[in-house]
Structure 1
Amino acid sequence: MGENLQVELVYFYPKENSKPHKTDKFELIYDEENPVPILRRGLKFTVAIRFKNDRFVNLEKDQIRLFFNFGPTPNPIKGTRAVIKLNTTRKRIEGENFWGANILDSSSDLILEVYSPTSTPVGVWKLEVETSLVNSTLPPSVYKHENDFYILFNPWNCHDLVYMPDERLLDEYILTDVGKIWVGPYGSSRGREWVYGQFDACVLPAAMLMFEKSDLVPASRGDPIKVCRTISKLVNSNDEDGVLVGRWDGQYEDGTAPSAWTGSVQILQEYLDTQFSVSYGQCWVFSGVVSTICRALGIPSRVISNLVSAHDANASLTVDKYYNVNNEEMDFDPNNPMGEDSIWNFHVWNDVWMARPDLPQGYGGWQAVDSTPQETSDGYYQCGPSSLEAIKKGQVGFSYDVAFMVASVNADVMRWKEDSTRELGFARIYTNKYHIGRTLLTKQPFIFDPNGDQDREDVTLQYKAPEGSKAERLSLYNAVRGTELAKSFFALPDPGLEDVEFDLEELERIKIGEGFCVVVHIKNRSDQPRTIKALLSAASVFYNGVKAHLVKKEDIEAVVKPKSTETMRMTVKADEYLDKLVEYCNLKLYAIASVTETRQTWTDEDDFEVLRPKIDIRIPPEITVARPTTITLRFVNPLKKILTNCKFSLSGPTLIRNQVIRYGDVKPGGLVKMNTDITPRSVGDQVLIVTFSSKELVDIRGSAKVAVVEPEE
């Protein structure tokens, strides 16, 4: 025995290891030329080493060391380099939190079971094998395995920080690759189907590219707190070359309209191919990509839609609007020259599941992370992870960004009118404690409803106590005590006793082409007549609350008799709003009124949606695997204008991979109809998601559930 063992090859058993590691859905494992092993930390995996030498391994004379390396400068102290010296005396026991290996067989090839700790950094690892002889002067021989492998978080392991005790839920929050995101105003929101596609071949490489562009050091990539905070920063492109460019103004000609996306895979594939940020995204698109990346990495994730969401720009825990002495809304915030508060008719972020060893006991579990650029945190556009328990209790001193999330779901809406007699120069004329965070929704586990919303789950009570309850007020006031500017806003007295009641009638939805009315009901509770001067208006708005076009405005005056009621009404015809609609077809009603005799002032607003048609997908309920099936897509153009730059986007895991089909112009009221073929790649229940977009009309969508079966014998 005069020479070192020479390694011929190393084999990771990618398919065999994937079953116990629950990674067998990843496409990378089945690459015919270069199958990529994908493993979970804290769980043993099998490796085989074959030697060129014409002799057996003798560990009394052969020294074999395995070096597992992570990142550009691996270091054992930082946990990015593991050194395992093989021996036959010390047996590695499962549950020990260090790297180790046991020899299963050495009769021909050397068969090992290798253990990684539950703190292992997550991402791409490399292996080197060093061989030498005991008491030999020969230098060691080093074999560098040319293929990388992935190690992921392990939510099935109770020692991992992302461990979820109810393991049944991991089928939804890790393994389910099609979901729903609730979009639209309160009262008319609907679940929008989204293909997460976390097992697609592009997803893990795209996630690694994202981390390479970040400032997160390799040693920290095993910490789910830091990983999720980085994801919230890098899915948007505001600070670094992240995945998606955000845009909300309807101008998407040089990219893809957010409403045209059907899922995350096409976005991440483009990001990986070009190495540049993809245009364009909005909050619900950002959240879909975040869930894809988190689920791929092994972090349980769900999408959260907050219907009526506050953007508190000045950390006052209020959403403030200001009016001049003539009841006209001011276009700036006198208390925040850097920006102004807004109310999004819906906003979407993510919850991720993890322990929080940096917080007191009881604040682990679901944590909110928001990748939509709104306000900076530690100098970057990032948000979270914020413990839902901390948000619910108003613990704004806990990391990270709890105050911003408290405001998002539970800020008070305040209205201010110019008044030179007041110290602030404004008098508070209105407070609404119930408007923000009307409902928080996510997809219910294990259910998918392609035709309705039977699969939605209301998680409002996980974010705050019941609205109007003593516990809800106490938690908000607890947050106020920890927020300097909020103290001054909440310390001001409420307006005095007011003897006229106002109520803006809410609209939930109308069909496109229908008219509507802005209606205010007035009740005079006093013994004297009251003169009411009101301004009613309607405007089209983007879903983030930014006004697009004024549709109509009317000044109305009325005298309400003592102890009686009156109704003010403004009628809006379809022709008055159709050419002023912007994407998602959201309209906002505004009303402001003042009482001449008492100087009482009231204001309110309401959002609603103009409903567009759905795509009718005609597909057999059962189709055969590996055989083409023709499907038909159809709907009627609801507008009195030609649709141009039309295209369909189709997606569905194993059914069709991100296909975009151009379509010709569509006449006013014309039928849009297209046939295409799909060829399913695997059996089981599948979902097909389709969107249609044009220059004049966007966010037309539909979905269908289909069973894919084996061919008959």
Structure 2
Amino acid sequence: LVEENQMESVDLNCAQNCTNHNTQFFSDQKLIVRRGQTFGFYVHFQNREWNDEKDKITFTVETGPKPCESLGTKSIFPLGGCPDQCHWNASFKSHDAKCLRVNMFPPANACVGCYSLNMCLVSCDHTNSQNLGDFYVLFNPWCSDDPVYLDSQDQREEYVLNEHGIIFQGLPEHITAHPWHFGQFQDGILDICLKMLDTSTNFLRDPAMDCSCRNDPLYISRVLNNMVNILKLPSNNNLLQGLSPLTWNGSVPILRQWYQSRCKPIKYGDCATFASVLCTVLRCFGIPGRVVTGFYCPVYAADPLSVQEIFDYTGKTLNGKEHMIYHCWNESWMAEKDINQSGGDWQFLDPTPVETSKGSVCSGPIWVKSIRDGDVDTDSEGHRVFCMLNARSTAWISQGKGKKTKLHCDSGTSGQCISTKSVGSDLREDITDAYKKINSQYLNAPNSEIDKDIASHRNKSLKETGITMKLKMANCPLYGQDVQMNWVLENLCNESKERKFNLCAQAMMHNGCALDQLWKDTIHVTLEPKEGIFFYIYVYSHILGYIQI
């Protein structure tokens, strides 16, 4: 008689599996695999070696609080079944006496998350069920059947495996690079990222349905993009009850503090912080992601296609928070199953909440290509993003009592120098062409509607009055040092010109909020016929020193 076989132990082979699945950076003590790729483990038996006729094994894998086969969060399958690329399956081969090597395959459409692995052994009509442990399933950019597939190893190393990044800030003329530690593989971060999904509105409304949708990177991106409870924006730049957004240089302290505080929003964050934290979570789940910066983006404009700038007679700005000096957002790489396309493309995600008539909203996911092509008629979020990057700017002088005089209108200021970190280096890559048709025949056509609209707002420039003026920074401004500007005036006419110029320097936050006026002066200039005058303008560091921007 053949005696009943019993399992003695299981070796999930964590270290080797993690290496094979490019997850060894998390830990070699946990089983973390990527879908669409086989992983192997060893089952050791107590009594005897495996007998195909007397022994049968069935595996059950399940994830979420309410696992369900019909929803794809639970799967039951036999050992030795037919290989199937669309469903969970397991095969085996004898490893040595009393030991089997099991090769298990999570399909490329499996839900991401933490799974429990159970084994039911039927031997000589005796049934023994046992839990083999937990394991994690992530998206797989190395698998061509996964929507997040990237065919470049250099890009996979940059957008999935790289824990260090560069966030670009400053001005288009003086772009600065700030290092950021994403830390997606640090201890506990994967569990914190899963906790983010479990605190989403979708999960709280219907946990079973939410978990069943976690096989879709587009769905995951949308849920994460709207997780505005991770960070809180400061109200009116009031930082008394929290830390300045400038304090942070990595995502790990933010995520850990959020988790330890029972998921209360961390004070405070700005657009760069929001985008950097989202990039961490995307890469942690295996979705290729990157942080992107655009300069002069009217995120808060009442009319997103027309930015209004109002100044008083001294040059001081009277309104702010329409034209952000720079704005950071995210891109995630994937193929959309509803679109007939080969390969993937970048999606726009903006996790920084913006107050609208519909409440606090975050934009995305939106195809970057759709933004560039203006193919956003049916998508209000896409329309707002398109306007943000293509808005015209109109400057006015306030005359008091609600009256104002138009100075100029410019259609080329918004959405400049759209930047991200280059693959494999800390250099800046300009991706403006991916968002804007810079040389668009439509935008430059003399009879286009946009051109007509802008022309109707345009006033005479200084040049049309016979004077040219150039004002340019002589050096890159550094905190604690004097600021020098070069100012050139030239009279193009054959007659003298007398003009009064009001000059001022004013501090502004990156989000467009105007701070105090630092310096102002009035200069009377007489220009002889065809004369040019060159000025040096200094704003001394002791004036700027007390302002923290």
- Work out whether the TM-score is over 0.5: yes
How far apart in 2 are the matches of 1:74 and 1:393? Answer: 42
Change (3 A) 1:99 1:315: farther
CA apart distance, 1:68: 0.9
- The answer to whether the Cα contact below 8 Å between 1:70 and 1:125 also exists between their aligned partners in 2 is yes
Which secondary structure state, in structure 1, belongs to the residue aligned with residue 327 of structure 2? strand
CA 543–493 in structure 1, closer or farther in 2 if over 3 Å, else same:
closer
> Secondary structure of 1:285's partner?
helix
For 2:119, the aligned partner's letter is: V
Task: Measure, in 1, the Cα distance between the counterparts of 2:79 and 2:356.
Answer: 49
Residue 314 of structure 1 is matched in structure 2 by 302
**Alignment counterpart, residue 470 of structure 1, candidates 426, 440, 451:** 440
SS of the residue 2:155 aligns to: helix
Is it true that 1:446 corresponds to 2:424 in the alignment? Answer: yes
Structure 1 residues 570 and 489: CA distance shift in structure 2, 3 A: same
Please state whether the residue corresponding to 1:505 is helix, strand or coil: strand
1:114 aligns with 2:80: no
Which of 411, 432, 451 aligns to 2:410? It is: 432
Matched, 1:543 2:510: yes
Q: Matches of 1:344 and 1:308 in 2, distance apart?
A: 5
1:159 Cα shift?
0.9
Query: Whole-Å Cα distance in 1 between the matches of residues 497 and 253 of structure 2?
Result: 60
Structure 2 residue matching 1:193: 3-state secondary structure: strand
- Asked if residue 129 in structure 1 is aligned to residue 119 in structure 2, the reply is yes
Over 3 Å counting, the alpha-carbon distance change for 1:360 and 1:559 in structure 2 is farther
1:555 Cα offset (Å)? 4.5
1:303, distance to aligned residue in structure 2 (A): 1.8
* Alignment counterpart, residue 404 of structure 1, candidates 355, 380, 384: 384
- TM-score, normalised to structure 1, is 0.67
2:69 maps to 76
Residues 350-388 of structure 1 deviation map (CA, whole Å, 9 limit, x = unaligned): 221111233464894122212222356985532222222
Counterpart residue number, 2:256: 269
C-alpha displacement of 1:17: 0.7
Distance 1:552 1:283 in 2: 29
Q: CA deviation at 1:108?
A: 1.8
Identity across matched positions, percent: 25
Q: Say whether the 8 Å CA contact 2:468–2:491 is kept in structure 1.
A: no
**What residue in structure 2 maps to residue 573 of structure 1?**
540
Instruction: Please tell me whether residue 47 in structure 1 is matched to residue 41 in structure 2.
Output: yes
Kindly provide the amino acid, as one letter, of the partner of residue 12 in structure 2.
Answer: F
How far apart, in 2, do the equivalents of 1:319 and 1:362 lie? 38
Report the counterpart of residue 167 of structure 1 in structure 2. 153
| Counterpart residue type for residue 320 of structure 1 | Q
- Report deviation, 1:344: 2.0
Cα deviation, residue 560, structure 1: 5.5
Q: What's the CA shift for 1:527?
A: 6.9
How far the C-alpha of 1:207 sits from its partner, in A, is 0.3
Correspondence for 2:15 = 15
Give yes or no for the alignment of 1:100 onto 2:80. Answer: no
Q: CA distance change for structure 1 residues 314 and 254 in 2, over 3 Å: closer, same or farther?
A: closer
Q: SS of the residue aligned with 2:109?
A: coil
Instruction: Give the Cα–Cα distance (whole angstroms) in 2 for the partners of residues 573 and 513 of structure 1.
Output: 9
**Aligned residues of 1:312 and 1:318 also touching (Cα < 8 A):** no
Distance in 2 between residues matched to 1:190 and 1:494, nearest whole Å: 33
1:203 deviation in Å?
1.1
Instruction: Give the C-alpha shift of residue 55 in structure 1.
Output: 4.7
Per-residue deviation, 1:492: 4.5
- Distance, in Å, in 1 between the alignment partners of 2:455 and 2:3 is 83
Per-residue CA deviations over 1:23-59 (Å, capped at 9, x if unaligned) read 11113x3xxxxx221000000011333455x355445
Partner in structure 2 of residue 623 of structure 1: none
One-letter code of the match for 1:458? Answer: D
Q: Distance in 1 between the 2:442 and 2:334 partners? A: 25
SS at match of 2:395: strand
CA separation in 2, counterparts of 1:316 and 1:514?
Answer: 36
Query: Residue 258 of structure 1 contacts residue 281 of structure 1 at CA under 8 Å; is this kept in 2?
Result: yes
Can you give the 5+ residue segments of structure 1 that lack an aligned partner in the other structure?
30-34, 333-339, 449-454, 482-486, 584-713
Say whether 1:358 aligns with 2:338. yes
- 1:506: which partner in 2? 472
How far off its partner does 1:204 sit? 0.3
What residue in structure 2 maps to residue 456 of structure 1?
428
Q: How far 1:285 sits from its partner (Å)?
A: 2.0
The answer (yes or no) to whether the contact 2:309–2:317 under 8 Å persists in 1 is yes
CA displacement at 1:414 relative to structure 2 = 1.9
Does residue 256 of structure 1 match 2:243? yes
SS in 2 for 1:389: helix
Q: Which residue of 1 aligns with 2:207?
A: none
Q: Judging changes above 3 Å, is the alpha-carbon distance between structure 1 residues 502 and 10 closer, same or farther for their aligned structure 2 residues?
A: farther
- What aligned pairs does 1:577-616 form with structure 2 within 5 A after superposition? 577-579=544-546, 581-583=547-549
SS in 2 for 1:357: coil
Residue 474 of structure 1, CA deviation: 6.7
Query: What's the offset of the Cα at 1:102?
Result: 1.0
Q: How does 1:387-398 map to 2 (within 5 A)?
A: 387-397=367-377
Cα 1:280–1:493 change in 2 (3 A) is: closer
Contact 2:35 2:139 in 1 (8 A): yes
Which residues of 2 match residues 180-219 of structure 1 at below 5 A?
180-216=166-202, 217-219=210-212
Equivalent pair of 2:166/2:421 in contact (CA under 8 Å) = yes
SS at 1:211 equivalent:
helix
Note the C-alpha offset of 1:558: 5.0
1:90-135 deviation digits (Å, cap 9, x = unpaired)? 4315xx221111122385234211111111111211122234479x
Where do residues 517-556 of structure 1 align in structure 2 (5 Å cutoff)?
521-523=488-490, 532-556=499-523
Conserved 8 A contact 2:154-2:424:
no
In the alignment, which residue of structure 2 is the partner of 1:707?
Answer: none
Q: 1 or 2, which has the higher helix percentage?
A: 2
TM-score, normalization by structure 2 = 0.85
Residues in 2 aligned to 1:378 and 1:121: alpha-carbon distance in whole angstroms: 32
Pick one of 130, 133, 136 that aligns with 1:143: 130
CA distance in 2, matches of 1:50, 1:542: 63
Secondary structure at the aligned position of 1:292 is classed as helix
Of 60-69 and 354-363, more deviation after overlay is shown by 354-363
Shift of 1:312: 4.8
Q: How many equivalent pairs are there?
A: 535
Instruction: Give the AA of the match of 1:158.
Output: S
Alignment of 1:488-507 (within 5 A): 492=456, 494-495=458-459, 498-501=464-467, 503-507=469-473
8 Å contact from structure 2 (residues 371, 435) kept in 1: yes
1:372 aligns with 2:352: yes
Partner of 1:285: 273
CA contact (8 A) 1:182 1:442 kept: yes
